[in-house]
Amino acid sequence: MKLKPGVKFCLFIVLIGLIGLIGFKYFKKDAEKIDNSLLKEHHISEKYASKTLEFVLKNDLYEEKYLKEYAKINYREEDDFATILTTFLPKGYQGEEINYILKLSKTNQEKLAKLEYQDIQNYYKIKNFNVDNLERYNAYYKEHKYSYEDVVTYVNINLDLPVYTNPHTVTDGNSNLVLVNKYNCLEANYTPSDLAYLKGAYGNEVPMREIAQKALVKLQEAVTKEIGITLLPTTSYRNYNFQKTLYDNYVAEDGASAADTYSARPGCSEHQTGLAIDLKNPDTPASRRLNDSDYEWLKNNAHRFGFIIRFPKDKEFITGYQEENWHIRYVGEEAAKIIYENKLTLEEYIDLYITNY
């Protein structure tokens, strides 16, 4: 049979392709193929053959009772692969669970290694999962029925614990991301070292951290240019004793439980960081801070200058405070953008983006 040269060429190309494909397959099979003589030596059926099985046989880690599990465990060329197998198989973890454990952070793997078997299948994919909090996650999930992701975040930020009991002492007071709330409080003597001043709504000079002051000047210029209003600080940095007087007065007036919803206890106010600023539009009556349209601008633009609305509506259960549309907090532009775009609180942002578990 005579073929046209064009057809011949096509067949030739197809043939080359087939040879390549078969070669590749053979090569690949060879890479996955395990040493059958090893299996024979241990009287193991070929149906259990896997890289992990080969690994344990070659490294003298083989135990017959885990034969079915070896087949399920994805082999990993990592230094601690052997340790993971010999630590978690005896605790009763199944092959699939060991695959989850292999995906956890080293810190979490080490914490888990110290415990008896734990059922973590609902949590292993969650990036801010912390083995230390496992029991609290389970209890909180039962009580609230949030998603497992939310449960992990909310427990990590301590929402399952009563406020103001054994608050953590904040040591990074000078960080732009310092978290001060009802679970994290500053020491009485903490004072920012770089206070700068800005003219306030009541003719006062308002002290705040220099970085916040510079950013606020830019925000003020923008709000005037864009919607023609003025925003002035009423208060920003407040020292421990000032906050104490303020809080004590509110308690005398309203009682502690009411006061706690709108005023921080001394040491636990982020005004002590010098990064929180209360604003007022001086053209509104004395009893009002902002008009709705002022807040609308602030809510959607503060992040451009590194600020966030710290106590937004619908997040009261996280921040522990009633909505305060006038209270902004400097966190830096990068954090502010993420917080704004993802509708987060500072608490959630730090847990999801900053803390390593």
Residues that bind Zn ion (CB under 5 A): 278, 327
Give 278 or 348: the residue with its C-beta nearer to Zn ion: 278
In whole angstroms, the minimum distance from the beta carbon of 140 to Zn ion comes to 29
φ/ψ of residue 170, rounded to 5: -75, 130
Q: Tell me, what amino acid is at 238?
A: R
In whole angstroms, the minimum distance from the beta carbon of 231 to Zn ion comes to 14
In the chain, what are the helix, strand and coil shares in percent, each to the nearest 5? 50, 10, 40
The residue number with the shortest CB distance to Zn ion is 327
Catalytic site includes residue 205? no
d(Cα 157, Cα 183) in Å, to the nearest integer? Answer: 8
d(Cα 279, Cα 282) in Å, to the nearest integer? Answer: 9
Give 153 or 325: the residue with its C-beta nearer to Zn ion: 325
Residue 99, judged by CB atoms within 10 A of its CB (0-12, 13-18, 19+), counts as middle
Q: Could you tell me which residues are beta bridge partners of residue 232? A: 280
Active-site position among 324, 341, 347, 348: 324
Give 182 or 327: the residue with its C-beta nearer to Zn ion: 327
In whole angstroms, the minimum distance from the beta carbon of 165 to Zn ion comes to 24
* Chain length of the chain: 357
d(Cα 222, Cα 24) in Å, to the nearest integer? Answer: 62
Do strands 184-185 and 168-169 pair parallel, antiparallel, or not at all (unpaired)? parallel
Give 278 or 351: the residue with its C-beta nearer to Zn ion: 278
Give 112 or 211: the residue with its C-beta nearer to Zn ion: 211
In whole angstroms, the minimum distance from the beta carbon of 319 to Zn ion comes to 12
- The helix/strand/coil state of 280 is strand
d(Cα 156, Cα 150) in Å, to the nearest integer? Answer: 10
In whole angstroms, the minimum distance from the beta carbon of 215 to Zn ion comes to 16
Give the catalytic positions in this structure.
324
